[in-house]
Every structure is written in structure tokens, then in C-alpha cells.
Copies of this chain bind each other. A is one copy, B any other.
């Protein structure tokens, strides 16, 4: 089975780099401690970003660095510093090509956008599987040689829905994805699903959250008479459309717009905002904590 792989130059990350992300109670000397640790292992800092969340008294940092050790060695070496500073931290290798699982229903604009970005190397990723509760987008996946799994809800009631979700979950688990992308997937996921892929499931919602939660967001927006419509990409949590926001954008509408024309304009927003969030996640630029995100650009 051919899978889309990029051979394009990966513009953003240094080759063979790892990324340390952390947040911890703010105090002095953290930056120096981290820099000293990297230097002591013979590593070099390639890129660094840091911020303070004064409201929560937290320090948040992302450090991209090159080194000669394997990940386990790095993690073992870093653990004492992490413990001493009471950090929530992760050290991750930068994948050359990250594995994506994409869930869709019937609207293909986000899926085609992601397929194109993977094909051109704009995103450093390959879509390993497209899973859907409908058949509509089989052709889209097929054009790019990506396996398509049609897993419909068979019958009514909670059991039928649970059975379908279990199949979806298995299909996703099979490809061991770095990221699960809900690219206009129109079914609500259970907490079990959310937990299994916690911190690596991104949804695109067709409104400027927290306005217009749930279905029919464009109609809701039209009825409220807003002058801008939006799209929001966020990590999926068990609360509907309540997860930490990664990216948002808006575009103007006028009184001449209908719910249908808003939906058309909104498609461009959705693809843009979703792809920004996917890129930021794959480059380990997003640090989520306490319902918020820091995104180092």
C-alpha cells in the first residue's frame, strides 16, 4: 500500500533535533538550569521560547536542541531536574514524517487540504488512514493512495454507536498515530476515545469558540447577526468544544450572507485554522495546560 510521504525539504525544524517542553512553578534560574543540562550532554540549543503565566505563577518553555543521545538516555538524564523544579515535561524526537489518522464524515475540504499539504511536504506528515462513518470521501483518500476505512453506525441506540466507535478506535490505534485529526467528523467521541488519544486529538470547529458551540454553528451565527464568522482548532477533551484552543481566525460577512454562503466562506477558514494547529502540534510548538495553550511560533 502506497502512503503519501514527503520528500520535500522540511523548512521548520533542524534535522535530528529533539524538543523539550515543560511547565512548572515560576522561579529564578530555570532557563540557566535547562541550558546547563543541555550543554553538559554536549547538545546545542537550536531554538528556544519561553513565557510566564503570571496569573497561575507558571513558567512555560520549549527548547529545540541537537544532541547525540537516544531519547531514553535523555529522559533519564533530565528526570532529576524535572522533579526538583516540579515540572510537567516531555522530551520528544522531531519526526521527519509524523503519522496522522484523519476522521471525516462527508465534507472533503479539510481532508483534501491535508492530503495536499502532506503530498507537497508543506506538512511534515503522512496520512496513514482516513476513517469515516460514511463512504463519501473514499475517492479522496484513494486519489492519494491512503487507506480508507468506512465504519458506519449499524442500527440505532447507544450500543450501535459504541460498537462503531470501538471499530474507529481500533482503526486509529492500528496506525499508532502521532496525531488524530477530526477533519469535520460529525460524531461526538466518548471519554474512552478521548482518553486513549489524549493530548493528540485535534478538532476543527466551525465557529469562533466559545460562541456557537455544537451543530449548525453557521446558522447560529447567522441568526445572531454577527459581522464576522470564525473557526477554532482545539484539542479534544470530554467537554463538547471545550478543549484548549490552538488556533482561531475570522473573516468578514455581511447582511447579504446566508447560512449557506457563510458555510462556503467558512470552509477556507476551517482548512487554514486546522492546518495551522496540525503544523504547530507536529513541530511540538503547543504546550497545553489548565485548559489553555502556549503556541511558540
Interface residues of A (CB under 8 A from B): 11-12, 32, 35, 51, 53-55, 60, 107-109, 112-113, 115-117, 119-120, 122, 139-140, 143-144, 208-212, 222-228, 230, 244-250, 252, 254-256, 258-261, 264, 267-268, 272, 275, 291-295, 297
- Alpha-carbon separation in the docked complex, A210 to B115 (Å): 33
Q: Are B249 and A228 in contact (CB under 8 A)?
A: yes
Residue of B with least CB distance to A4: B143
One of B228, B259, B291 near A208 (C-beta < 8 A): B228
Q: Could you list 11 A-B pairs, sorted by A, with CB under 8 Å?
A: A12-B264, A109-B116, A109-B117, A112-B119, A122-B267, A209-B226, A210-B211, A227-B245, A227-B246, A255-B292, A268-B275
- Alpha-carbon separation in the docked complex, A12 to B263 (Å): 12
Report B-chain residues with C-beta under 8 Å of the C-beta of A246. 227
Residue of B with least CB distance to A112: B116
Residue of B with least CB distance to A256: B51
- Alpha-carbon separation in the docked complex, A131 to B164 (Å): 45
- Alpha-carbon separation in the docked complex, A22 to B59 (Å): 25
- Alpha-carbon separation in the docked complex, A246 to B254 (Å): 10
What's the dominant secondary structure at chain A's contact region? Answer: mixed
Given A116-B108, A272-B272, CB of A55 within 8 Å of CB of B228:
no
Report B-chain residues with C-beta under 8 Å of the C-beta of A293. 225, 255
Report B-chain residues with C-beta under 8 Å of the C-beta of A108. 116, 119-120
Report B-chain residues with C-beta under 8 Å of the C-beta of A222. 55
A204 to chain B, nearest CB (A): 14
Which of A11, A116, A254 has most chain B Cβ within 10 Å? Answer: A116
Q: Are B297 and A256 in contact (CB under 8 A)?
A: yes
Report B-chain residues with C-beta under 8 Å of the C-beta of A224. 209-210, 245, 291
A269 to chain B, nearest CB (A): 10
Q: 5 tightest CB-CB pairs across the interface, nearest first?
A: A112-B116, A225-B292, A255-B294, A211-B211, A227-B248
Q: Are A11 and B260 in contact (CB under 8 A)?
A: yes
Report B-chain residues with C-beta under 8 Å of the C-beta of A115. 112, 116
Report B-chain residues with C-beta under 8 Å of the C-beta of A244. 225
- Alpha-carbon separation in the docked complex, A115 to B292 (Å): 36
Report B-chain residues with C-beta under 8 Å of the C-beta of A140. 119
